[in-house]
Amino acid sequence: MRLSQYFMPILRDDPKEAEIISHKLMLRTGMIRQEAAGSYSWLPMGYRVLRKIEKIVREEQDRSGAIEVLMPTIQPADLWRKSGRYDAYGKEMLRIKDRHDRDMLYGPTNEEMITDIFRQGVQSYKDMPRNLYHIQWKFRDEVRPRFGVMRGREFLMKDAYSFDVSREAGQHAYNKMFVAYLRTFARMGLKAVPMRAETGPIGGDDSHEFLVLAETGESGVFFDRAFLDMDWSAFDIDYDDVAAVAKVVDTFTSKYAATDEKHDAAEFEKRVPDAARVSGRGIEVGHIFFFGTKYSAPLGCEVQGADGKKVLVQSGSYGIGVSRLVGGIIEASHDDAGIIWPEPVAPFKVGLINLKAGDPETEAACVHIYKALEAKGVEVLYDDRDDRPGAKFAVMDLIGLPWQVIIGPRGLKDGIAEVKNRKTGARENVALDQIVARFSA
């Protein structure tokens, strides 16, 4: 993509309405634009990141055996009356009437609808277990939408729903999602610590939140430092191996970790040595729930068990804040100059800077590399605008692409360009004909 032809409305100054760094940077780099309180348009740079996050989430859900569907954003109220949540959900639910005066709502979550879909589609234990998920916009009329996409009113969520015939099978479904979450967040460069949590309006018996540490997080967190030294990359396990999956969950729940809602100071002091006690703040990027029969009972979701008798289905639900993650990753990865995108979610991998736009030789060298990188499938943003080098460096640092390739007349004379790593700041002179080989798609 040529920057001269792109849509990236950079703001020169920090927007006043933004309180936290991720919100500031998302507005400054033209990733999003606010349309109403807690509601944003995703502009090209922001949308690219959102789609990358969505792709990782989708790949890891699929890998764990979950199956993708897509349910509507607007739901009829009937099913919610059956579960008893139509009134219980309160003012956070956006209620709408259609032209026939029927009660509708903009879905804040989908337990009722998916349970009904499953009930109609599956009658026997032979067609279980199943885990169905979708990635869909939600609306919650939050009292205090704030911090940009972190606490929006309209936001993108991945929500998965598991259906099992027994409690043990339901536990395995829960454990699989737990491991899938560790894998998902690790791929985005995040350590999201699983913590015991309150279940709130979603309900259920067992629940874990996954929290990324950040000073600006909305939850207070207390945990054992040992978490941070664990091996966060070793979950390449067979999801059908019940014991192996349970072992990972055991390891990641063996140490103390709780949000302020569940925190028990006496237990914290008893279980965690003084030097290992960490208290701080975190951003909740995922939340998983085990329900037992909380939803299947009121919605009449039963199947025929192996013994021929009808049995109520055991279910769970599993959410990831896909749009919140965009802000969460920036909170966890930035410096004074701007964003530092982890490669797997970066909007482009390489930023190519032409130091002398209008100079035919520099332009030719840049275009050659630009085209070769694109042909190889490497995503590159080419700053071909006529601007001062200093201003171009500042923009490139601000938008935080992992690599910068800087080409100017001086280096060209010696057949070299400069390659800069945004994260480490390390710079290296590289022969022009070696540049493309440096990057893979």
Question: What residue ranges bind ligand 5CA (CB under 6 A)?
Answer: 109, 111, 140, 142, 151-152, 155, 157, 159, 202, 284-287, 289, 317-319, 321, 323-324
Q: How far is CA 164 from the centre of its chain?
A: 26
Looking at beta carbons only, is 156 or 365 nearer to ligand 5CA?
Answer: 156
Determine contact, residues 401/338, Cβ cutoff 8 Å: no
Residue 267, SS3 per DSSP = helix
H or E element that contains 97: strand 94-97
Looking at beta carbons only, is 285 or 339 nearer to ligand 5CA?
Answer: 285
Q: At closest approach, how far in Å is the CB of 126 from ligand 5CA?
A: 26
Q: Which pairs with CB-CB distance under 8 Å and at least 24 residues apart come from 138-141?
A: 138/73, 138/106, 138/107, 138/108, 138/109, 139/73, 139/94, 139/106, 139/107, 139/108, 140/92, 140/93, 140/94, 140/108, 141/91, 141/92, 141/93, 141/94
DSSP 311: E
Q: At closest approach, how far in Å is the CB of 397 from ligand 5CA?
A: 28
Q: At closest approach, how far in Å is the CB of 88 from ligand 5CA?
A: 14
Residue 200, SS3 per DSSP = helix
Q: At closest approach, how far in Å is the CB of 282 from ligand 5CA?
A: 11
Cα–Cα distance for residue pair 176/160, rounded to 1 Å = 12
From residue 328, how far is each of 45, 212, 400 by CA, in Å? 16, 7, 15
Looking at beta carbons only, is 75 or 404 nearer to ligand 5CA?
Answer: 75
Tokens (6 digits) for 223: 């945990």
Q: At closest approach, how far in Å is the CB of 190 from ligand 5CA?
A: 12
Looking at beta carbons only, is 141 or 363 nearer to ligand 5CA?
Answer: 141
Looking at beta carbons only, is 45 or 149 nearer to ligand 5CA?
Answer: 149
Cα–Cα distance for residue pair 172/247, rounded to 1 Å = 11
Q: At closest approach, how far in Å is the CB of 286 from ligand 5CA?
A: 5
The partner residues of 138 in beta bridges, in order of sequence, read 155
Specify the residue for token string 């109403």.
36
Looking at beta carbons only, is 6 or 137 nearer to ligand 5CA?
Answer: 137
**Residue closest to ligand 5CA, measured at CB:** 321
Looking at beta carbons only, is 154 or 383 nearer to ligand 5CA?
Answer: 154
Tokens (6 digits) for 370: 């630009």
Q: At closest approach, how far in Å is the CB of 411 from ligand 5CA?
A: 45
Looking at beta carbons only, is 92 or 414 nearer to ligand 5CA?
Answer: 92
Q: At closest approach, how far in Å is the CB of 215 from ligand 5CA?
A: 18
